[in-house]
Amino acid sequence: MRHYELTYIIASDVDEEGFRSVLAQVQQWVEELSGKITETYQWGRRKLAYRIGEYTEGYYVTQQLELAPHATSALERNLRLYAPIIRHLLVRADE
């Protein structure tokens, strides 16, 4: 297992219940890939540096993960196809 940092932006039109369901969905994907989320930081709603589609604001979330290296591509595919997440970045954390 390697340590990764996942940062993603949730669309600003998602309500509180939808926000929680996005967090739960990401956790479910990580657990299905035999990984675990060790920490979650919710930055809150912030203005985007540039427009992404129709959005000028979004909810930023950063999570620390433990995940097998071969499982990252499956996780990124799920993040890319999930509509409420408008951008994501998965990087290996320094050891």
Mean pLDDT to the nearest integer, 4-32: 96
Q: Is CATH 3.30.70.60 correct for 2-92?
A: yes
Predicted model pTM: 0.92
Average pLDDT of span 29-42: 95
Query: If we measure between CA atoms, which residue out of 57, 80, 75 comes closest to residue 4?
Result: 75
pLDDT at 50: 94
Q: Strands 2-11 and 55-67, how do they pair?
A: antiparallel
When pLDDT is cut at 50, 70 and 90, the band that residue 95 belongs to is low
pLDDT score of 94 = 76
Angle at CA of residue 87, ends 65 and 41, nearest 5°: 40
Mean pLDDT of 6-35: 95
Q: How many C-beta atoms surround the C-beta of residue 75 within 10 A? A: 21
Q: How does pLDDT run across 40-88, given as a tens digit for each residue?
A: 999 999 999 999 999 999 999 999 999 999 999 999 999 999 999 999 9
Whole-angstrom distance, CA of residue 37 vs CA of residue 51: 29
